[in-house]
Amino acid sequence: MIREIFKTAYARAYVRIKGVNSDVTHFIIDIGLPLIGLSAILLAYKSLNAPSQFLAIAAIGGAMMAFWYNVLWGMASQFYWERETGNLPLYISSGAPMPGVLLGMALGGAVNMTIRAVGVLLATVYLFGIKLYTSEIVPAFFLFLLTLFALYSLGMIFASSFLRFGRSVSKINELLGEPMLFFSGVYFPVKVFPFAIQLIVSLIPLALGIEGMRELMVFGNSPLQILWIYIVLLLLGIVFFYIATKMIKYMEERGKTTGTLTLKWE
């Protein structure tokens, strides 16, 4: 079973990675457009003579922002769109394990967004002369991987649950877009929130990941000083992934008995 899951994940991820990156214009647009918006924030900081650390804080947050939108539109809504086009019943009837399909969607999206996030970050570092602690790049990379694990596991939960919402999916995505970016502290440290809100925010993988990478690469803190972030992200990833596999199994079984996996019965 494990072998089939990984083979399915590889096949699904390959389509996403190959399909998106084969067109250079997608790559240029996905880096250029976010860079314009991020540059506006950085220029505002510079016009106010803000400390250079503010630029680095915004650069890291702006580079990570694309992951959340990918989770919403490339993960959460995916099964709904697959059902709209009639592909979801084909996935089910093919015998391919649905957890493998979800995992492949997550891996493909994570790889694509990582390429673009690195491009945005490198561009801002070069254009605005931002200084980062490169000595902490290895622990920051592992923290980044844990962030993606927890974040895309959450996206897998959304992908399963959104099958129940029908055409209201786009409205839900819009509702979860900007507010989540605000509470994730994309352009500012989450430490500015009251302590009670910080506790709630600590359950958002994106917020934890951004804050942890800032502590390492902007403030030069050691991994031991933010060890709790590593632990929480790992636990969140495991819990979210477990819930996601259970939910997709439930939705698959329910769809087979009620016929809700086709557009006809929506």
pTM of the model: 0.85
Could you tell me how far CA 220 lies from the centroid of its own chain? 25
Q: For each of the chain's 266 residues, which pLDDT tens digit applies?
A: 678 888 888 888 888 888 777 777 777 777 888 888 899 999 998 888 888 889 999 999 989 988 888 887 777 777 777 777 777 777 777 777 877 888 888 888 888 889 888 999 999 999 998 989 888 899 999 999 999 999 998 888 888 777 766 666 667 767 777 788 888 888 888 888 888 888 888 888 999 999 999 999 999 999 999 999 999 999 999 999 999 888 887 777 766 666 666 554 44
3-state secondary structure of 19: helix
Q: Are 220 and 244 in contact (CB under 8 A)?
A: no
Please count the CA atoms within 13 angstroms of the CA of 50 that sit on its side-chain side. 18
CA distance 224 to 210: 17
Q: Which is nearest to 75 in space by CA: 147, 163, 143, 135?
A: 163
